[in-house]
C-alpha cells in the first residue's frame, strides 16, 4: 500500500457561481432548553431522483476500494498550519487493479458533485475543495454506494441520516465566512462525513455524538482516512465541550426549538454558529456572537433536520 495526499479533483474556478443569501438580523438573547443530534435535507434544493438499488458488483467494487489496514480507532487532534489545511488526511490507496476499477468511477462522481454545488451557489473555493477530496462513498451503507454523490440525505441507521452534499457545503461555507478557523465544534457526528469535510477547512475539529453505535460507526468510517486534526467524543452534545471552548464555529446537525445556552456561551466572540431551529417547520439560522452577552441572529432558509435530543443512548 502507498499513501497519497488528496488534491483538488478539478479547477475550482470552473465551478464557482454567484447566488445571494438573505436573512433578517436581530438581537438574540440566550435562553436555556433544546434537544440533540440528527441530519438534514434542505427544502430549498430541488428534489433529486433516488438511484436504483445497488448491485452486488458495485458493492464489491466499493469494498475493494476501501483500505484493508487502518490506523487507530479514534482520530486525534493535531496542530496544522492554515497553508496545509487541505492535507489534513492521507487516504491509503488501493492496489492499482482496484484503483482502476473503482477510484476513477468515484472520483468522476465526486467531480460532478462539486460542479453541481458550484451551480447551486456554493462560492467558497476552500469548501468546494474539501467537498472534492472527502470520499462520501466511505460513509454510506454498502447498498447505497451508487447514491453516494447524488444531492440527497441517506439513512445511516437509528433514524438518522447523512446530510445531502449541498447542505453540508452550505453550512460549512456559512460558518467559515472566508475566515481562518482554529477550534470548531460539530454537534451530531453521525457517520462522520461532515466532520471529515470540516477537518479540511479548520485547524482543529471536535465532534460529539450521543448515540454510541453511531459514534463507533464514525470511528470506523474515518479510520482509513487517518485524519490528524479531528477528535470524536461520545456524549451529550447539548452540553458542548467547555474544556475546549471557545470555538470559532459551531455546527448543529439536528434541529431543536432553541439553541442550547451552553453552546451559545462556548462560541468565541466573533464566532459563528449554524443550526436548524424549529419543530415541524424549521429554518436554518446563523448566530454570531458580537459581545460577551450579545448574539445576533439571521434567519436564512427553510430546512429539514432530525430532532435535537438530550442525553446519550
**Residue 24 in 3-state DSSP?**
strand
Q: Which residues are catalytic?
A: 163
Q: Can you give the pLDDT of all 313 residues of the chain as single tens digits?
A: 444 444 434 443 443 444 444 444 544 444 333 333 444 344 443 434 334 333 333 433 343 344 333 333 344 433 333 333 445 655 444 444 345 557 789 999 999 999 999 999 999 999 999 999 999 999 999 999 999 999 999 999 999 999 999 999 999 999 999 999 999 999 999 999 999 999 999 999 999 999 999 999 999 999 999 999 999 999 999 999 999 999 999 999 999 999 999 999 999 999 999 999 999 999 999 999 999 999 999 999 999 999 999 999 9
The CA distance from 136 to 58, in Å, is 15
β-pair type (91-92, 3-4): antiparallel
The CA distance from 59 to 139, in Å, is 13
pTM over 0.75: no
Is the domain spanning 24-52+75-89+153-303 CATH 3.40.50.150? The answer is: yes
Query: CB atoms < 10 A from the CB of 227, how many?
Result: 27
| 179 close to 202: Cβ distance less than 8 angstroms | no
Amino acid at each position: 500500500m502507498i499513501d497519497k495526499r488528496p488534491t483538488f479533483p478539478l479547477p475550482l474556478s470552473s465551478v464557482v457561481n454567484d447566488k445571494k443569501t438573505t436573512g433578517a438580523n436581530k438581537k438574540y438573547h440566550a435562553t436555556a432548553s433544546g434537544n440533540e443530534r440528527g441530519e438534514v435535507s434542505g427544502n430549498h434544493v430541488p428534489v433529486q431522483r433516488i438511484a436504483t438499488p445497488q448491485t452486488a458488483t458495485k458493492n464489491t467494487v466499493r469494498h475493494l476500494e476501501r483500505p484493508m489496514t487502518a490506523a487507530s480507532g479514534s482520530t486525534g487532534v493535531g496542530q496544522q498550519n492554515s497553508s496545509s489545511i487541505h492535507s489534513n488526511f492521507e487516504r491509503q490507496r488501493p492496489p492499482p487493479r482496484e484503483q482502476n476499477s473503482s477510484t476513477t468511477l468515484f472520483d468522476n462522481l465526486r467531480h460532478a458533485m462539486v460542479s453541481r454545488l458550484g451551480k447551486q451557489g456554493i462560492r467558497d473555493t476552500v469548501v468546494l475543495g474539501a467537498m472534492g477530496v472527502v470520499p462520501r462513498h466511505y460513509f454510506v451503507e454498502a447498498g447505497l454506494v451508487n447514491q453516494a454523490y447524488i444531492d440527497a440525505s441517506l439513512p445511516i441507521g437509528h433514524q438518522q441520516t447523512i446530510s445531502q452534499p449541498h447542505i453540508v457545503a452550505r453550512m460549512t461555507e456559512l460558518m467559515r465566512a472566508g475566515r481562518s478557523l482554529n477550534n470548531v465544534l460539530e454537534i451530531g457526528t453521525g457517520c462522520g462525513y461532515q466532520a471529515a469535510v470540516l477537518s479540511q477547512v479548520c485547524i482543529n475539529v471536535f465532534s460529539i455524538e450521543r448515540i454510541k453505535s453511531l459514534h463507533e460507526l464514525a470511528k470506523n468510517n474515518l479510520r482509513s482516512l487517518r485524519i490528524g486534526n479531528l477528535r470524536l467524543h461520545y456524549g451529550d452534545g447539548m452540553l458542548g465541550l467547555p474544556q475546549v471552548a471557545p470555538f470559532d464555529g459551531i455546527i448543529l446537525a439536528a434541529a431543536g426549538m432553541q439553541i442550547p445556552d451552553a453552546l451559545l456561551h462556548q462560541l468565541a466572540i466573533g464566532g459563528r454558529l449554524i443550526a436548524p431551529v424549529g419543530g415541524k417547520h424549521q429554518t436554518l439560522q446563523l448566530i454570531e456572537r458580537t459581545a460577551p452577552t450579545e448574539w445576533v441572529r439571521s434567519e436564512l432558509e427553510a430546512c429539514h433536520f432530525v430532532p435535537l435530543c438530550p442525553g446519550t443512548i
